[in-house]
Structure 1
């Protein structure tokens, strides 16, 4: 389909969406429509996080209590550059409208912390207006802001949440620090007002860029999966997830491409969870296929489907006993959806899980059968063999000690770097 045809189809889709929204009593401006209709032609997702329901989580967070009369400041690192940026906000699990009183984007001062570079603060607008209300269960993008960004630069997004929000749509495990202040501090360059911090992201589901090198356009890679994709046990504020390592490797190889992370800790292929997000087929379109500028999805998921029935942890009980055939059929659903949208989809073998709380005879047998299918079936367009890349040569059922975070399930920083090295760049 030509670019002109894609634009025409996108505009028709926006018009239809606008008509439905107006029928429901929601306002959609022409500026927002234009913004959305052009999104897949000119924008690239440079950072992303999968939205989740408010929940207690593994660490203290603000999702259940929400915000009231406060400013929220969040730091993320983009994997692509450009001369304009916009943010994507999600109220996907909010039962009531979310009012954003004001928002800014700026370059982070240094690589972390709540301070931003002087002169880099840009006021964000939404359909030309400085504030916006996101409908219950809705999402939207800001207008473009003129801001030069380089690949691997940290960006600070600041939201003024003047009204009481109620429970907040969030991403539980960020492995990055977010900050909160009382009152309106969206234009502050210093971080003095931001006295509270947490390791989660709230409402922010993406940062997109445009105006970068043309050869990078439409070549984005989404990593889709569970806690291993999410970066569990990686070093906080150091960007050591395997998505970060892969983006860095591509850049060093002279083939830079945006790489975005859509992992959710505890996520499953076959079952929803209040803590661990919607199952893969439910969230696959939103969190992977619909992102702007994406051509390839890498799927690493299934350890929780087979491992939760082995563990005694109460967060997902009773856990169904999943067969290899059921897990494979779940992956086939993702393959069909990706191919229907013209996306390349790369499968990954499950990492060794011996010695972890997910390990048992059934989980080991299903893991072996699933990994054999990934390697031999040819149903994925390509595959990456994490099982072999991270296995301990002395005991292939276990992660190599140098790559083990200590729980025998999740890699450490070195393990995530090894995952990135295991990828055949041509397979992307």
Structure 2
């Protein structure tokens, strides 16, 4: 097969996943499966396998038993109906969801009066999601506006087993003992977490003038919004959604970032390699038209720290694999340059050899013409007097992750016309 030539530097599992993407689905069939005229991604999250003690930060991914879990999400676009997606991709057995509700968020875990709606699956309140699968709910009639916040509550009346989850939600998630799906007030939700659980998407449909489908921001902790302000929706994809709304261009924006994620390899706690999860987390989003890829710094830094340095050629091969997969599915793919890390205290993230790899990768992204377009996040964040280092006013404190102002600068580096 002609496509195999670009995969020689990739792990065997990654080759299999991406060849499955290209070999089993024609472009026309892929478009039909996404149903771009009906649904767009209003909000999304990429999930990983349970990791209950996340590097010293406990969470609830060990599972639930007679618990209600309430999560607040902000939609990137509006519409007349919504649906939720529940993921058991990393479960070790069937996930039994007793029921769910959705409504307009009030303060904290509270819900606005008159807005709570029951969520059904094939006409039933409960559903079973097989291990390795995701379930979409039935349509819920709820008119929503761009940037509106919704509350989704999932209730599990029995043990779930290990939870498929997202460790860096950058948002407060609430838990209560017992069934509190229909509670308007927040009194029962007396436990909190900053990770989210099972919820992989909230999709929106309905007539929206000038609707442009879905943009997926695919990447690592920088896309994920690590170290941006909790509960403030200041991640760069959030800021991009705000720009699109202000410009009168209603577009779904889905955040497919995972903290610590790599292009080429898996690592427990940091998710499946980008080349393996790309089909599910990016190309399978409803209404997807464009994917922005920002990833590679963890391959570089992690490889340096482990004494197994990655080469620019290997990273370029990984990016080429993503490009081929997107183009086969008829999706536009935009490369984002990898941002600075000089001065970063984490082992491996500030080395001369690693910087040379980052420079070579960024040169290829900018000049090869293989991506459909390029957003230069590196130059947007770099200190003009020391281009390998992030500008002080954009640094969240570790010389690697942007703060809220840096996230805004990234979003402002996006040419909306190229989306």
Structure 2 distance, partners of 1:133, 1:303, is: 38
Asked whether 1:329 is paired with 2:317, we answer yes
Q: Matches of residues 184-333 of structure 1 in structure 2 within 5 Å?
A: 184-217=179-212, 219-311=213-305, 318=306, 320-333=308-321
Shift, 1:427, TM fit: 1.7
- Aligned match of 2:83: 86
Asked whether 1:62 is paired with 2:53, we answer no
Structure 2 distance, partners of 1:126, 1:241, is: 31
Asked whether 1:77 is paired with 2:74, we answer yes
Q: Matches of residues 158-173 of structure 1 in structure 2 within 5 Å?
A: 158-173=153-168
Over 3 Å counting, the alpha-carbon distance change for 1:395 and 1:77 in structure 2 is same
The gaps in structure 1 that reach 5 residues or longer are 1-5, 14-36, 312-317
2:408 to 417, 420, 428: 417
Q: How many residue pairs were aligned?
A: 388
Shift, 1:100, TM fit: 0.6
- Aligned match of 1:392: 383
Moved over 6 A (4+): none
SS at match of 1:398: strand
Q: Matches of residues 90-109 of structure 1 in structure 2 within 5 Å?
A: 90-109=87-106
Shift, 1:309, TM fit: 2.8
Structure 2 distance, partners of 1:120, 1:319, is: 54
TM-score (norm 2): 0.90
Over 3 Å counting, the alpha-carbon distance change for 1:193 and 1:351 in structure 2 is same
Q: Deviations over 1:345-366 (max 9, x none)?
A: 0001111110013110111000
Shift, 1:255, TM fit: 2.3
Bigger RCO of structures 1 and 2 (CA < 8 A, at least 6 apart): 2
Contact kept, 8 Å, 2:210 with 2:249, in 1: the verdict is: no
Q: Matches of residues 102-117 of structure 1 in structure 2 within 5 Å?
A: 102-110=99-107, 113-117=108-112
SS at match of 1:334: helix
Shift, 1:9, TM fit: 5.4
- Aligned match of 1:371: 362
Shift, 1:215, TM fit: 2.2
Structure 2 distance, partners of 1:115, 1:216, is: 31
Structure 2 distance, partners of 1:423, 1:10, is: 27
Contact kept, 8 Å, 1:177 with 1:198, in 2: the verdict is: yes
1:382 to 373, 380, 387: 373
Q: Deviations over 1:101-159 (max 9, x none)?
A: 1100001014xx10001110000100001100111111110000111111101110001
Structure 1 distance, partners of 2:308, 2:50, is: 24
- Aligned match of 2:126: 131
Contact kept, 8 Å, 2:210 with 2:250, in 1: the verdict is: no
Structure 2 distance, partners of 1:82, 1:403, is: 34
Q: Deviations over 1:56-84 (max 9, x none)?
A: 32532100x21001111011101011111
Shift, 1:319, TM fit: 6.0
Shift, 1:10, TM fit: 8.0
Structure 2 distance, partners of 1:10, 1:389, is: 34
The gaps in structure 2 that reach 5 residues or longer are 1-25
Contact kept, 8 Å, 1:97 with 1:133, in 2: the verdict is: yes
Contact kept, 8 Å, 1:83 with 1:209, in 2: the verdict is: yes
Q: Deviations over 1:223-268 (max 9, x none)?
A: 0000000001000000000001111112222323111100000000
Shift, 1:310, TM fit: 3.3
Structure 1 distance, partners of 2:397, 2:408, is: 16
Structure 2 distance, partners of 1:48, 1:319, is: 35
- Aligned match of 2:169: 174
Shift, 1:214, TM fit: 4.5
SS at match of 1:286: helix
Contact kept, 8 Å, 1:80 with 1:212, in 2: the verdict is: no
Asked whether 1:359 is paired with 2:350, we answer yes
- Aligned match of 1:343: 331
- Of 245-254 and 297-306, deviating more is 245-254
